Amino acid sequence: NNKKRVYKVLGHGRSTVVKTLSNILTRLGHKTVITELDPSLGYLCFPGVLGVKKMEQINDQYDNSLFFYYGNDKIENKEYYDVICKNIDNVKEKILTDDTIQILLDIQSDNFDNENFFYIVVGDETLFHSINKKNKFFIPCFRYKKIDKLRKIREYFYGSNKKSDINNLSYTPIIIKKKGLKPLQIGEHFLAPSSCLPIGKESKINNLIIKTTKLENNQIVAISYGKDEKEVLDSPIKAFMIHLTDDQYLTVQEKMDDGLIVSGQIRLLEDDFEEIAHF
């Protein structure tokens, strides 16, 4: 029963192994689902984005994918991270069948208790030998290159510079002017000063509060499928944009419906923006 068997890929050089493995399985006709729960990696989209992908054909980069915008490449808001992971589990329950092969890119941890996991360790022999399970496999990796966050962002907005992408209209970024978009922030980033609180009350961060916020220039934002603020927490993302100035956004979609914008903590510096826009 493949639905209960999950191939969890650990170590360094994971992205190359997952891409190769998923393409081989797809060529062989296997139903394959890739889940990414590590916000630092950015395999399916770019760092700060979590999601699930149902493989239909090889190298179909963003097709058949559902993304959730965590908005940070580090797990600093654990409550919101757990909510997204639960939402992804709910999505998978709808698409998994008994003959589906699952590939999991999760955060690195020392918890290897799940009997349904088959652990594939890439390049890290120490980690491999620390797993006291029979269901494990080691893949040597002598050289690997960590995923470049800027390169992954550039690929989303400008394509990968491959000939097959340059002529693809979906990789033609445009600047649009949209008024009325409502930028939202999930979770508080700062504690209220004690002087603002009633006597005897302690300040505590609310990690799941949803409130309006002001966007910074070159900040990456996401348009939510949520129809109102209550739905934003559990809703996936339609598309990503870069907020430029005022009501101007860089996007790859010419027609953009009005919607709720989810902000994050990923912001490009001026030099970064020039780099991703340069061919």
- Predicted confidence at residue 208, as pLDDT, reads 85
Q: How far apart are the first and last CA of the chain?
A: 46
Residues ≥6 apart with Cβ < 8 Å to 110? 130
pLDDT-wise least confident of 71-80, 199-208, 219-228, 264-273: 199-208
- Predicted confidence at residue 179, as pLDDT, reads 78
Beta bridge partners of 146: none
| Mean pLDDT score across all residues of the chain | 82
Take residue 94 and report the two structure tokens written for it.
């709808």
- Predicted confidence at residue 271, as pLDDT, reads 65
Taking the CB of residue 50, how many other CB atoms lie within 10 A of it?
A: 25
- Cβ contact 268:276 at 8 Å: yes
pLDDT-wise least confident of 83-87, 172-176, 187-191: 187-191
Nearest to 88 by CA among 54, 126, 120, 52: 52
Q: Which helix (H) or strand (E) holds 184?
A: strand 182-186
Q: In the chain, what are the domains?
A: 6-147 (3.40.50.300), 174-278 (2.40.30.330)
Question: Per-residue pLDDT tens for 18-29?
Answer: 999 999 988 998
- What are the DSSP E strand ranges found in 37-142? 49-55, 65-69, 100-105, 117-122, 136-139
| Mean pLDDT confidence for 140-151 | 76
Q: Is the confidence at residue 166, as pLDDT, over 80?
A: no
Q: Is the confidence at residue 146, as pLDDT, over 90?
A: no
- Predicted confidence at residue 147, as pLDDT, reads 67
Nearest to 47 by CA among 64, 71, 83: 71
